[in-house]
Amino acid sequence: MNTFKKMLQNKKKSPAMTKPVLLRNVKVTFICLATATLSSSVFFLLSHNTANAAIIYVLATVLVARNTEGYVPGIVASLFSVAFINYIFTYPYMALNFTLDGYPITFVGMTIISSVTSTLTTHLKDQTQTLNEREHMLMEAEKEKMRANLLRAISHDLRTPLTSIIGSASSYLEQGAFLTDSDKSHLVETISDDAQWLLHMVENLLSVTRINDQTASVKTIPEPLEEVVSSALQRFHKRLPDARVHVQIPADFIMIPMDATLIEQVLINLLENAVYHSGSSLPIDLSVDLDQSQAYFHVRDYGLGIQPNTLDTLFDGYTSTQNRSSDSHKGMGIGLSICRTIINAHHGQIFAANHSDGAELTFTLPLGENTYESEIESSDY
């Protein structure tokens, strides 16, 4: 919000015309008027029609207004255009004569038309610049919100496993002589599990660094859908080898524009979320379907579902509602927040909903050209 206010204050302060800007205005005005004069002379020699010259000078005035700073260059160009038409293309040639019958009205009319055209063009250019600045401010506000959510999620999701690691290590060191081999193994397994979870969180955070900080977007290239899903499942099963996933994707060769590494990370996050927080050992469904413009990725579990009061804030990075899973130290916040950041950078959408037997998380990706769907291929992993 502070950034938004500062940019508005800067917008209100109109900086004085600098010498480089002034020189550029003069240069652009001179080039446009010289080009208009040369072009009008050619048309006049061929057709002896003054109307062509008037149209060309009006176009030159618009170009001056479009490519200079401020209103003055366009108005000056309009006045010079009227004078040039009178001096060069109106009888008596090469002389100013405002006494011709009807010419004062023509002179005033063209001056008004040229000036209004110049003013409107400059005004539209200023409006476009204002809209661009507002869009930039909104993007900056969104980025600040994303950073705040990530920091809040990090403090929530990383603090507990770190505390667990420290507590388990201290117990092992201080009471090791009094612990059984089974107790020691349990403490080491706890440390290993929490360390793996921290590593997973670090991988999530590193994923965000692939997103362009200026445009909040990613570089996408067409990737084979089947290979991306297969790679994500392989990485997922390295962490959770006992988890079962039922996969349904189009059987044809489908290419979707994406950053494959980031989309794999999203799929892994959603699958792990389903394992840790569904409270069920039933297989997870991973399916992909297409329409004319988008690909829809669905991760459906058959467990406890999502508490309705958290659905709207599920991807914000942190919810105060306590997890209902047995693995409650593994928070949902940072992983889902990063999922939304990645999908937004792909110009897609991500959302969550409950169904009759559990929860379903869905994200979309825009399709490129030559993408189509036919029969569905089904398999278990």
DSSP assignment of 43-106 equals HHHHH--HHHHHHHHHHHHHHHHHHSSSSHHHHHHHHHHHHHHHHHHSSSTTS----STTHHHH
Fold of 216-380: Heat Shock Protein 90 (3.30.565)
Bridge partners of residue 222, in order along the sequence: 257
Quote the CA–CA distance of 203 and 213 in Å, as a whole number. Answer: 18
Q: How many CA atoms within 13 Å lie on the side-chain side of 139?
A: 14
Q: In this predicted structure, what is the pLDDT of residue 149?
A: 67
Region 99-118 average pLDDT: 65
- DSSP H stretches of helix in the chain: 2-12, 19-47, 50-67, 72-89, 103-175, 181-208, 225-239, 260-277, 333-345
pLDDT at 205 over 60: yes
pLDDT by residue (tens digit) across 352-375?
Answer: 999 989 999 999 999 876 555 445
End-to-end CA distance of the chain: 47
Q: In this predicted structure, what is the pLDDT of residue 178?
A: 86
70: left (phi over 0), alpha (psi -120 to 50) or beta: left
Best-predicted range by mean pLDDT (139-143, 305-309, 377-381): 305-309
pLDDT by residue (tens digit) across 231-262?
Answer: 999 989 888 888 999 999 998 889 999 999 88
Give percent above pLDDT 70 in the chain. Answer: 77
Quote the CA–CA distance of 284 and 358 in Å, as a whole number. Answer: 10
- Pairing type for strands 350-355 and 284-290 reads unpaired
Q: Locate the domains of the chain by residue range.
A: 2-140, 216-380
Token pair 């809209």: residue:
131
User: 66: which residues sit within 8 A by CB, 6+ positions away?
Assistant: 121, 122, 125
What confidence tier does 213 reach under pLDDT thresholds 50, 70, 90?
low
Please state, rounded to an integer, the average pLDDT across all residues of the chain: 79
Bridge partners of residue 379, in order along the sequence: 247
More confident residue, 217 or 272: 272
pTM of the model: 0.56
> Is the separation of the CB atoms in 100 and 55 below 8 Å?
no
DSSP assignment of 24-58 equals HHHHHHHHHHHHHHHHHHHHHHHH--HHHHHHHHH
What confidence tier does 17 reach under pLDDT thresholds 50, 70, 90?
low
